[in-house]
Structure 1
Amino acid sequence: MCRKATQPIGGPMDPQLLETAGTTLVAVMATDAWQSTRDGVVALWRRMSPARADGVETSLAEARADVVLAREQGDTAAEEALALQWQGRLLQFLTAHPDAAQDLDRVLRDARAQLPASEQTVIGTMRLEARASGRGRVYQAGRDQQITER
């Protein structure tokens, strides 16, 4: 069963929130939605960990510059690496402040809603199973797949 990430995600340390948080944050960095998303994330830090808020604000600005450059150069690996870094940072934040999970989820849902449909994250589980016999072929993909046969 899959659901759009724009639906509320339950639980303070919901793995689905953690799974999409870094990706959403980085995806929004190169869009018009960035300013409000950044403000929401920084406000969370200011409320929960004020001594670190300025550092987070600076890190977000640096990450945004890196994302913009990566997109200009078509460097998806750099963007994925940044998403992983922010996923880890958000995990540390929520581990220290689990009561901030609902607010972070709200900020990220609002951000995802502003992304083009092609960049909105779908979360959930997927189970692929196939059997082939004889000369049968099976092609499975969780997302994009291109097959060229001759």
Structure 2
Amino acid sequence: MEPVVLAAGTALVAAMASNAWEAARDALVGLWWKGKPEEAEAVGSELRRARSVVLEARRTNDADAEQALIVFWRMRFDQLLRKRPDLVGDLRGVLQDDLVPALDADDRDRVSVAFGRTEAHDHARIYRAGRDRHADGG
């Protein structure tokens, strides 16, 4: 799966519990109108139902329900991009412009890890590995 798909699934479910949810939902429905217009209205309904599940899961501390929704939406995003790979930039835009700004700091950090976003400032260098990194203390 594309890193943007992994991050978008995580960010979407976290954004469902935010006050900025309506704008994020509208952006996602707009993405479906662009990529699979025949599914756009159904996706809007699915998102409304999913938000109810997330709110209840957060109220009852049901992490499994949230994780199941993350997996579900990752699959939905993956299916959309398989049919319309040209929309990867649009999904990235929705993630960065609509989903991530709706998140609190903890959720934003989780999405950054999933998306693999790293920033360097001044003259810093960044070294990233595609798998686990281990360092010896010797």
Displacement of 1:48 after TM fit? 1.9
Q: Which amino acid aligns with 2:105?
A: A
Distance of 1:112 and 1:27 partners within structure 2: 9
Q: Deviations over 1:96-142 (max 9, x none)?
A: 0111111111111122123111111223356242669xxxxxxxxxx
Q: Give the 5 Å matches for 1:128-143.
A: 128-129=133-134
Structure 1 segments unaligned to the other structure (5+ residues): 1-13, 133-150
Which residue among 104, 122, 132 is the counterpart of 1:116? 104
The TM-score, its normalising length taken from structure 2, stands at 0.79
Residue identity over aligned pairs, in percent, reads 37
Displacement of 1:33 after TM fit? 1.8
Distance of 1:80 and 1:72 partners within structure 2: 15
Q: Relative to 1, partners in 2 of residues 1:87 and 1:51: Cα closer, same or farther, differing over 3 Å? A: same
Distance of 1:52 and 1:114 partners within structure 2: 24
Q: Deviations over 1:30-78 (max 9, x none)?
A: 1012111100010111122111111111111111110000000010111
Which residue among 6, 19, 43 is the counterpart of 1:32? 19
Distance of 1:73 and 1:101 partners within structure 2: 34
Higher helix fraction (1 or 2): 2
Q: Give the 5 Å matches for 1:1-150.
A: 15-110=2-97, 111-120=99-108, 121-123=111-113, 124=116, 125=130, 127-129=132-134
Distance of 1:126 and 1:36 partners within structure 2: 35
- Say how many residue pairs are matched: 119
SS at match of 1:122: helix
The TM-score, its normalising length taken from structure 1, stands at 0.73
Structure 2 segments unaligned to the other structure (5+ residues): 117-129
Q: Deviations over 1:83-104 (max 9, x none)?
A: 0000001100011011111111
Distance of 1:45 and 1:15 partners within structure 2: 18
